Structure 1
Amino acid sequence: MIDDFTKKEIDKISYELLKGSKSFDVFPTPVDQIMNYSNFVIDNNIDLINIEHSFFETLKEKSFKTLQSGLSKIKGIFDRREKTIYIDVSLESNIGKKNFVQLHEIGHGVLNWQNETTLFLDNDETLSPELEEQFEEEANYFASLTLFQQDRFEAEVEKLKLGLSSVIALRQKFGASVHSTFRNYVLSSKNRCALLILTPIKDSKGNSALCTTRNLFYSNPFKNDIGELDLPVDFGFKWSFIRDYKFKKRFSETGEISLNTVYGETLDCSYHFFNNTYNSFVFIFPKGEKNKARTKIHLKNLS
């Protein structure tokens, strides 16, 4: 958990970087512009997923920070000695993820108290916002704060109606992934809402038999007014949003469901469903909950 003092320091560094690179109120967030201002060099032509150990010999680095699980599935590398950031070539097809990884690596470079470590190797584990390893958590916080331009994200949320279409619009506006946008949307929301992220479980034949919980987030108003929901870890076909998933529904804003809270109360909810092939997102809020929209939404695409 990042302490308040460190958060303020990261806030200040992020603000100065956005301001100095003239990136505030430029959409999507100009990550390459921020990169150039930070004086780091980027190399995104390396296949880091299939990287060989000999690659590190070219860096002439004998000690570096990495996961105990080894060098598999690396998405980004920050080499402080060469002031170079390496981004896996596969992320070219996922701009939202690439932007976050790039800013995560910039974070390792500009948070000066991390200078003791000269090389960072990052995969899905270190890039997860739920990771509590100090330097990685700080870099993730910096990346999210910078990508969503600090208070600009909340200002945009206030203009839009409550729901999935707003999340997709914000994702497109800031150049982020659906996952990071949804998480930020719920955690910063002034509405009572929750986000259930599901990952499919494969049976012995490789078919998706059911889904398991990857993450569950609540807005502060939801936790304060309602508490938490009494939900299982795994979900089967009896759940309407699993039927949405099984029937390959991509996008829906018409779901209704009754859920129990941990206090034994029944809560009538609306839910919105989105499946991006990697995860399914179930956005939950009490029936009647809404945010008065001041801006109409025109979605370009759902990819």
Structure 2
Amino acid sequence: MHGCAPTQWWRGAVAKARLRPPKQTEGCRHVTKEPALDRASDHVAGLAERLLQRADAAGVFPTPLDSVAEVVGIEEVLDISELPAAVKPRRPSFLRRVVGALLYREEVAFIDYGQSQVRARFTEAHEIAHRAIPWHQASHELFLDDDRALDPETELELEAEANIMAAHLLFQGARFHDRALSYELSLATPTLLAPQFGTSMHATIRYYVEHHPESVALAIVGQFATSDDTVPVWNALASPTFIAEHGPFSRWFPGNRLAIGSGADVRPLGQVAHRALHGESHPELELRRTALDGEVRRYKAEAFYNQRCVFVLVTPRSGLRLGRRVRLAG
């Protein structure tokens, strides 16, 4: 099915895509879901699980997306270069480069295979989701998706739902953490598991944190400091347990900035980020933070620099190291 030459599926009529430009956001983003989206998320995850079962893909890693696509009725998955010329003029002006598309009537998905393999897999899972979620087809006949639609922080509700299902199809819900929890609570664990699930390291770290049963948080910060020795905090996210104990992690970063350095006046998160940026492979420090209930909790802060940004992970400090140890490369 993948990479097939175009067949006679194109019937000449092009459906209109009802799209609206996404809102622009800056700095650190902490998204609190509306109750309606929370309910839809649970429903979407349930739909994804049933698809995995029907495709005999449950527990198979990386998820065989071609089998899932067949189950939802996608007859072909073609490269984005095969997108019909009649569709291209319909592309709204606010769209950037289209990386994925779905034509319902023709039962064809288009993927930009010029992306990295893991990014192309997420795009394909996203288009499968548009096909699988019943109310998406009811409101659209055509989806054209750019990078902003696939952004996990998108404010477009249908795109957010497609991203939720895509993540469930790739990580398979609790099955990911069934495997992750056999290793130590560390950035090394999602880094190890990413190739096994056919997902990017960035997406795997996010999923690891956002769905972890323990009190875990992650800041993704920039690599270039300004004259005041601060770096931008691009994103701050946390597990449900952490949010219940401390509130949104974004509150730890006034002005969406993090002061970095090696001095005693720099907070531990800034110190480990600084050490990672200066070549230390896996810096760790202990920190203490007062929770909402007034109790002081001990945490470990660790950082990893991937040559584009710094991941700063906060995990509970325990005297007992659980799970198999993993060493971070680099």
Q: What TM-score results when the alignment is normalised by the length of structure 2? A: 0.73
Q: Is the 8 A contact 1:97 1:177 kept in 2?
A: yes
For 2:97, give the aligned amino acid: K
Q: Are residue 270 (structure 1) and residue 315 (structure 2) matched?
A: no
Q: Are residue 284 (structure 1) and residue 314 (structure 2) matched?
A: yes
Residues 251-272 of structure 1 deviation map (CA, whole Å, 9 limit, x = unaligned): 41x4115365687997653222
Q: Is the 8 A contact 2:286 2:299 kept in 1?
A: yes
Aligned match of 2:52: 18
Whole-Å separation in 2 of the counterparts to 1:44 and 1:77 = 10
Aligned match of 2:232: 212
Q: Aligned with 1:269: secondary structure? A: strand
Identical pairs, percent = 25
CA 1:83/1:17 → structure 2, altered by over 3 Å: closer, same or farther?
A: same
Q: Are residue 44 (structure 1) and residue 79 (structure 2) matched?
A: yes
Residues 181-205 of structure 1 deviation map (CA, whole Å, 9 limit, x = unaligned): 222211222222210011345879x
Q: Bigger shift: 192-201 or 240-249?
A: 240-249
For 1:223, give the aligned amino acid: I
For 1:214, give the aligned amino acid: W
Q: Is the 8 A contact 1:23 1:29 kept in 2?
A: yes
| Deviation of 1:30 (Å) | 1.7
Q: Aligned with 1:132: secondary structure? A: coil
Aligned match of 1:78: 102
Whole-Å separation in 2 of the counterparts to 1:286 and 1:259 = 10
Whole-Å separation in 2 of the counterparts to 1:291 and 1:36 = 43
**TM alignment of 1:35-184, pairs within 5 A:** 35-40=69-74, 41-44=76-79, 46=81, 57-59=85-87, 62=90, 70-91=94-115, 94-115=116-137, 116-184=139-207
Q: Bigger shift: 222-231 or 29-38?
A: 222-231
Unaligned ranges ≥5, structure 1: 48-54
| Deviation of 1:80 (Å) | 2.0
Q: Is the 8 A contact 2:37 2:157 kept in 1?
A: no
Whole-Å separation in 2 of the counterparts to 1:5 and 1:270 = 33
Whole-Å separation in 2 of the counterparts to 1:90 and 1:202 = 32
For 1:119, give the aligned amino acid: L
Q: Bigger shift: 110-119 or 219-228?
A: 219-228
Whole-Å separation in 2 of the counterparts to 1:123 and 1:60 = 13
Question: Which of the two has higher C-alpha Rg?
Answer: 2
CA 1:226/1:76 → structure 2, altered by over 3 Å: closer, same or farther?
A: same
Unaligned ranges ≥5, structure 2: 1-33, 262-269
Q: Is the 8 A contact 2:233 2:253 kept in 1?
A: no
Q: What TM-score results when the alignment is normalised by the length of structure 1? A: 0.78
Residues 98-141 of structure 1 deviation map (CA, whole Å, 9 limit, x = unaligned): 22111111111111211121222222321122223221111011
Whole-Å separation in 1 of the counterparts to 2:279 and 2:84 = 43
- Root mean square deviation of aligned Cα: 3.2
CA 1:38/1:163 → structure 2, altered by over 3 Å: closer, same or farther?
A: same
Whole-Å separation in 2 of the counterparts to 1:45 and 1:190 = 38
Q: Bigger shift: 214-223 or 235-244?
A: 235-244
Whole-Å separation in 2 of the counterparts to 1:267 and 1:122 = 43
CA 1:4/1:216 → structure 2, altered by over 3 Å: closer, same or farther?
A: closer
